[in-house]
Amino acid sequence: MEGKVFSVSGQELRTIDMSDNVFGLPINEDVIWYAVNNELANARVGTADTKTRKEVHGTGRRPYAQKGTGRARHGDVKSPIFVGGGTIFGPHPRDYSYSINKKAKRLAMKSILSLKAQNNSMKIVEDFSVESAKTRDISAILDKLLPSGKRERTVVILKDDDSLIKRAGRNIPWLHFLTFNRLRAHDLFYGRNVIVMESAVSGLNDFYGEE
C-alpha cells in the first residue's frame, strides 16, 4: 500500500511504500487488549501496604475483663474491629508484572498501526527537527499538521532518539514521542493522532515487516 507524505506546513509532497504486513493487516482486538493491559500491569509500582493485627504497635493485654462488664469478649485492642487496629485482607507489596508472548506483542503493534492507518488517524510527515528545542516552535508545526489545530492526544513516531525534538515537546501534556523500534501499545492505541516521520516508516517496514 502507499501513503501520502506531507511537509511540516501540511502540504502533500509525495507517496511512500507502506508494508501491507505492518499497515494493512486485519485488526486483532484481542491481542491489542492483552498488550495494553500487560503494559499497565508492568507499570504498577505495587508498594501499597497495610498492617495486619500482628504488625500494629500496641499492648497485647486484654482491654477489659472477660466477664462482668456486659460487653463483648475481647482479647486484643489490635483487633481489626477496633479503631487503630489491624487491617483485614489489605494490600501488601507485590510485583504485578508479567510477560506475554513476543509474537503476540509484535502482532499487537502491527494491529494498532494498521488500525491507525485504516481509520485515517495517521499522517506521514517529512523528517524534521526542532533545532531551537523550544516548545513554541514544535507547537507551530503541530498546529499545521493536526486537523483544525485540535489539541488532542498525539503520538509522534521518530526514526532516532532525537533529544532536541523531545525537549521541545516535553512541556506539552498531550504529546508523546516513540521510537519506531520501541513502541508502546498503550500510548499508540489511545493516541487520537499519530504522526510518523518519513524515515520511521522505512524503519517500521523493516522492523515489523519481517516474519
Residue type, 49: D
Mind listing the domains of the chain with CATH numbers? 2-28+101-209 (3.40.1370.10), 45-95 (no CATH)
Closest CA to 172 of 198, 146, 148, 197: 146
**Cell numbers at residue 56, please?**
500494629
| In the chain, % of residues over pLDDT 70 | 98
- Report pLDDT digits (tens) over 133-168: 999 999 999 988 887 766 789 999 999 888 999 999
Q: What pLDDT is attached to residue 160?
A: 87
Which of helix, strand or coil describes residue 182? strand
Q: What pLDDT is attached to residue 151?
A: 78
User: Is 10 or 112 the better-scoring residue by pLDDT?
Assistant: 112
Burial of 120 (0-12, 13-18, 19+ CB in 10 A): exposed
The sign of the dihedral angle between the CA atoms of 72, 78, 84, 88 is negative
Per-residue pLDDT band for 211 (boundaries 50, 70, 90) equals low
Which residues, listed in sequence order, are joined to residue 2 by a DSSP beta bridge?
17
User: Is the pLDDT assigned to residue 81 strictly greater than 70?
Assistant: yes
**Cell numbers at residue 81, please?**
474491629
pTM for the model stands at 0.84
Q: Which residues, including other chains, have CB under 8 Å from residue 97's CB and lie 6 or more apart? A: 41, 42, 44
